[in-house]
Copies of this chain bind each other. A is one copy, B any other.
Amino acid sequence: MIRIVLADDEDLIRGALAALLGLEDDIEVVGQASDGRTAVELARAHRPDLAVLDLEMPGWDGLAAAKQLSENPGIPSVLVTRHARPGVLKRALGDGVRGFVPKTTPASRLAEILRDVHAGKRYVDPEIAASALTATSCPLTDRELELLRYAHDGGTINAIAGQAHLAQGTVRNYLSSAMTKLGVETRYEAARRAWEEGWF
């Protein structure tokens, strides 16, 4: 019997996934959480064989939870995600994630994947793996990424400079540099590109 802790912030999806896994004779969902922190607490209490975590969650996301679980109680995680972002896959594998499943995966495969991971294998969606291999590794510096993160929600340069505690000239330079590196015309496009690649 494979004992699982399941985390997804959308109740409907989490419940549906639980129903799906409940159909399998050898899988048992022993706990459900709606955010990463609760998932970690549940896992430390129940000691499941496996954690199935949605990547996009408020507060601690799936990646943060997976890292915790892999370090402390040594519980392997499978991440489920809507957006197949190559950079995120790389970081996830570095943080001890054992399976990476986009939501476009056929439902019938999920149980098999969990069994494989439980048996010690790893699973990575072939599509994402391919794009992660061909993907240009991130050409941006940490500072550039930080400012792109701020730029992502559409504020003015001044607002960004305030949040980052920098002069606006500096902010403009970093963003300009990022824009040239990515070959786009505006910081918004740059921010979107960086997000899509999974660089943050």
Contacts and interface: CB of A to CB of B under 8 A. Distances in A.
Nearest to A56: B82
Contacts of A108: 15
A6 to B, nearest CB: 11
From A12, A102, A188, A189, name the one whose CB has the most chain B CB atoms within 10 angstroms.
A12
Interface string A79-116: 01010000000000000000001111111101000000
Contacts of A105: 11-12
From A13, A80, A185, A186, name the one whose CB has the most chain B CB atoms within 10 angstroms.
A13
A13 B188 contact: no
Given A12-B107, A13-B16, 7 more contacts: A10-B104, A11-B106, A11-B107, A15-B110, A16-B19, A156-B185, A156-B186
A189 to B, nearest CB: 4
> 8 smallest A-B Cβ distances: which pairs?
A15-B107, A16-B16, A154-B188, A10-B103, A19-B20, A16-B20, A154-B189, A19-B19
